[in-house]
Structure 1
Amino acid sequence: MASPATGTRRNSSLLRWGIVVAATAILAVASGGRFLIGVVFDQVREGFSLSHGDLGLVVSLSILVIGTTQPAVGWLVDRLQARFVAAGGLALLAIGLIITGRASSVWELVIGYCVFVALGLAAVSPVTVTPLVASWFVKRRATALSIVNAGGSVGQLAIVPGLTVLVVAVGWRDAYVLLGAGLFLVGVPMILWLLREREGEAAADMAQVGCSVRTALSHRSFWELSFGFFVCGFTMAWLMNYFVDYSLDQGISRETAGFGLSLVGGASILGTLITGRWADRRGSVVPLSVVYALRGLGFAGLLLAGSNVPLVLLALAVTGFSWSSTVPLTSALCADIYGRRALGTIFGLMFAIMPIGSAVGSALAGELRDLTGNYTVSLLANVAAGLLAAAVTLLVQARPIFARTEAPTAEQPAPVIAD
């Protein structure tokens, strides 16, 4: 007969992993709104009579709003329950998608996509769920965060092909409206029902373990990891916003391109889970460097593949393996180096660099396409960026910069902090 202590540990374990499932589902639900613009980029551009560069700037503005509000989201998460922040964000995302789908002018498009959608995506992001999940795990933190961040890839794998079919059937405008309505009616209640904060003395103790924001900002590794996030955003912007258009230039069908994006999501799930386990066993620095190297090599393969569909899909699989791994590996390093005390704000400041990279990458790729008539130069820029991030990441010092007065247990750190 199991002892009460054994039953308590079992229930605690089930609760922890239940939180992981809930957080994963939230990011999966939100991912459809993030990836739909890449599926319909050419249709939106033609519908509003915009050039590649003009629509790229609209997307970049949205990404900049996401980036600049991430620290505020992290600050809110440090002070409020994560489920309320995420629920509010998903509601804003849903409203923004509906406004975007019904927009009749460029200004309405900007309001819907660059304000409501952007603010919603900012609040339904890894910045919101990372501190929550990190508070439930220590020993298997990288694995738990990897599973959660695979949620975006699960959504990409499941939603992008469906959205592609939906766009073909009803048009991009109605697709946006239907997705927004679904997120509002299903996603918001899911968040409020499923997400749970850690409570009790253990949670209060953990909240005090870590360094201050000022200390983190003065630490060299903060900026090395932030550079990696810049490159992550820079490279992701190209694939999300321009891959379908690039494929059409190469004579590849929209349906095949949509399948390619879903393949990125599938490979991302595998890569995230493998690198998460690797990081829990050997540390996160080397896996993160390998991930960035694969990102650059994937873009090199895409450039060399041309219109050869099997080679294009192979290059996308390599890129996909690295797609979502950067966030859980970086967030696990943040929790290990800086602790839980101000993790939401610290990770929010760092994560804000990724949308800035996306904005730069999106705007640059669009302008280069208009200037050169193709995507060759922007693909080369992505190759170089990935390889440079791999080199910089190897310099990260993963040691904690906050003190503990006693060793942590398997799933609970010591309840003290020195800054």
Structure 2
Amino acid sequence: MTKLGGRIYYGWYIVFSASIIVLLSMGLRMGIGPFVNPMIFDLGLTRTEFSLILAVGMIVYGLGMPLAGYILKYYSTRFVLITGLIIFCVSVICTITSNGIISFLLSFGILFSLGLSFLSNITLAPIICKWFVQQRGKALFYLSTGGMAGMAIMTPVEFTLIQAVGWKHSLLILGGVFVCIVLPSAIFIMKEDAPAEANDDSKRMSDQSRYMLDKITWKDAIKTRAYWQIVIGLFACGYGMNLMGSHAVPMLMDHHFEPMTASFGFGLIGIVAIFSSLFLGTIADRYPRKNILFWVYFVRGMGILGLVFVETPAQLFFVAVTGGLVWAGSIALSSAILSDFYGVHLLAMLNGWAFFGHQVGGAIGSFLGGWGFETFGTHILAFGSAAFISLIASFASFALPKKISFPKYNNINKDHSILK
């Protein structure tokens, strides 16, 4: 670990704390599968109605991310985290007391999703990028490791809790855990002012490039093709990950897997992703990020498709392990590439809107997973389309440029470019 003055570099404490928060928020958002059937049964909803509520939640989750990024421009990470925690806790109380589709939509579909969006990596990635330059890729991958650990841990934990005390008490218990983790982390750990050593990027870019990064605006960024290539990738990421998070466990149960086997099989993706993300983090600052991102989307697409056709626990676990090898890469790499291309000062806003595309994909995937099954009696439509879109994202990522130029900021007649 990087050290300053003989002590562990404080930025790593921020990374650890942020990873735990993302473990909880992404684990609950992406691992909602165990709640699906109990909520549907208790509230008398059809799978299509529940999928529609999930889709609305994905859109709200996506809109909340650029909102969080906008608030970060004027307030601190601490403020955004505490605001998100308050919204989340209110949503939990409203969800467990809801008694119809409208109240459930407002509480679980809207408030719940908004609160979690404020507790997501969109809020936490910028502060990590402030504290890390040379090891930015590694630090962001460690943040993603928290999300993958959330999938691995939260899914079986949720299933066990629901079996023991029901979905309402399970959600209440998880709300208490959020308070115990997020509140002290926000108050005592999230320090905005990084030391001068954290921003010593003289080895990475020229004075010209640094000048350009300080000058470009979000309007300049969204006019570049590279930004939309990142958005395409995150759309595919959201489509596949939210489809999996909402419908993988129910799909496997529809295919006659035992509930615990299905939950463990899905959770195994996150277990493997914990270790694979640590490995990917070691190479993210050494090799072209776009090439790594290509393989992430390509292998993930094949894994999503393979999950539909597994027939035995051994096959399920093999596909889960294979998919887990690349499950964590897209979010960390996309954030790192955006900060490399457009600068840390634009990361929260650009990342937020890019993740809105992620959530639009998530909304479509979540809805199609339920509607497609009820309409056609098969999961191939939803999971097959997710695999196809992942392949498109893989080639869009491979086509990313190595550098971006903004000639209007070339005040000394030299090309102002950003490396890798």
Normalising by structure 2, what TM-score? 0.89
| Equivalence for 1:247 | 252
How far 1:401 moved relative to its partner?
4.2
Deviation larger for 396-405 or 188-197: 396-405
In structure 1, what is the Cα distance between the partners aligned to 2:72 and 2:299? 32
In structure 2, what is the Cα distance between the partners aligned to 1:135 and 1:26? 18
Q: 1:157 aligned to 148, 152, 169, which one?
A: 152
Checking the alignment, whether the CA contact within 8 Å between 1:94 and 1:179 is kept in structure 2 is no
Deviation larger for 48-57 or 270-279: 270-279
Normalising by structure 1, what TM-score? 0.89
- Seen in structure 2, the aligned counterparts of structure 1 residues 7 and 310 have a Cα distance that, compared at 3 Å, is closer
Q: 1:331 aligned to 335, 346, 351, which one?
A: 335
How far 1:9 moved relative to its partner?
4.3
Q: 2:123 aligned to 128, 140, 156, which one?
A: 128
How far 1:174 moved relative to its partner?
1.3
1:314 and 2:346 are equivalent in the alignment: no
Checking the alignment, whether the CA contact within 8 Å between 1:78 and 1:343 is kept in structure 2 is no
Q: 1:222 aligned to 216, 220, 227, which one?
A: 227
Q: 2:184 aligned to 175, 180, 189, which one?
A: 189
SS at match of 1:251: coil
SS at match of 1:352: helix
How far 1:400 moved relative to its partner?
4.8
SS at match of 1:197: coil
| Equivalence for 2:206 | none
In structure 2, what is the Cα distance between the partners aligned to 1:281 and 1:201? 23
Give the letter aligned to residue 124 of structure 1.
Answer: L
Q: Any idea what the Cα deviations from partners look like across 1:89-147, whole Å, max 9, x if unmatched?
A: 12322321232122211122112112221111111111111111011111111000000
In structure 2, what is the Cα distance between the partners aligned to 1:115 and 1:344? 22
1:389 and 2:384 are equivalent in the alignment: no
> Unmatched 5+ residue regions in structure 2?
202-209, 412-417
Give the letter aligned to residue 87 of structure 2.
Answer: L
| Equivalence for 1:287 | 292
Checking the alignment, whether the CA contact within 8 Å between 1:145 and 1:328 is kept in structure 2 is yes
Deviation larger for 331-340 or 360-369: 360-369
| Equivalence for 1:147 | 142
> Unmatched 5+ residue regions in structure 1?
1-5, 406-416
- Seen in structure 2, the aligned counterparts of structure 1 residues 285 and 42 have a Cα distance that, compared at 3 Å, is same
Q: 2:64 aligned to 66, 69, 73, which one?
A: 69
- Seen in structure 2, the aligned counterparts of structure 1 residues 8 and 202 have a Cα distance that, compared at 3 Å, is closer
- Seen in structure 2, the aligned counterparts of structure 1 residues 97 and 404 have a Cα distance that, compared at 3 Å, is farther
In structure 1, what is the Cα distance between the partners aligned to 2:405 and 2:118? 28
How far 1:187 moved relative to its partner?
2.6
Checking the alignment, whether the CA contact within 8 Å between 1:276 and 1:329 is kept in structure 2 is no
Checking the alignment, whether the CA contact within 8 Å between 1:89 and 1:119 is kept in structure 2 is yes
1:258 and 2:254 are equivalent in the alignment: no
Q: 2:354 aligned to 350, 367, 374, which one?
A: 350
In structure 2, what is the Cα distance between the partners aligned to 1:49 and 1:297? 35
Give the letter aligned to residue 387 of structure 1.
Answer: L
- Seen in structure 2, the aligned counterparts of structure 1 residues 401 and 117 have a Cα distance that, compared at 3 Å, is farther
Checking the alignment, whether the CA contact within 8 Å between 1:95 and 1:180 is kept in structure 2 is no
SS at match of 1:348: helix
Give the letter aligned to residue 337 of structure 1.
Answer: F
1:47 and 2:51 are equivalent in the alignment: no
| Equivalence for 2:382 | 378
In structure 2, what is the Cα distance between the partners aligned to 1:392 and 1:245? 31
- Seen in structure 2, the aligned counterparts of structure 1 residues 7 and 360 have a Cα distance that, compared at 3 Å, is closer
**Residues 57-136 of structure 1: pairs in structure 2 closer than 5 A:** 57-136=52-131
Checking the alignment, whether the CA contact within 8 Å between 2:48 and 2:374 is kept in structure 1 is yes
1:236 and 2:241 are equivalent in the alignment: yes
**Residues 173-184 of structure 1: pairs in structure 2 closer than 5 A:** 173-184=168-179
In structure 2, what is the Cα distance between the partners aligned to 1:126 and 1:350? 12
How far 1:203 moved relative to its partner?
8.1
SS at match of 1:280: coil
Q: Any idea what the Cα deviations from partners look like across 1:320-350, whole Å, max 9, x if unmatched?
A: 2222211110000001100122221111111
- Seen in structure 2, the aligned counterparts of structure 1 residues 296 and 36 have a Cα distance that, compared at 3 Å, is closer
In structure 2, what is the Cα distance between the partners aligned to 1:288 and 1:347? 16
Deviation larger for 89-98 or 295-304: 89-98
Runs of 4+ aligned structure 1 residues displaced above 6 Å come to 200-208, 402-405
| Equivalence for 2:414 | none
| Equivalence for 2:21 | 26
Checking the alignment, whether the CA contact within 8 Å between 1:61 and 1:114 is kept in structure 2 is yes
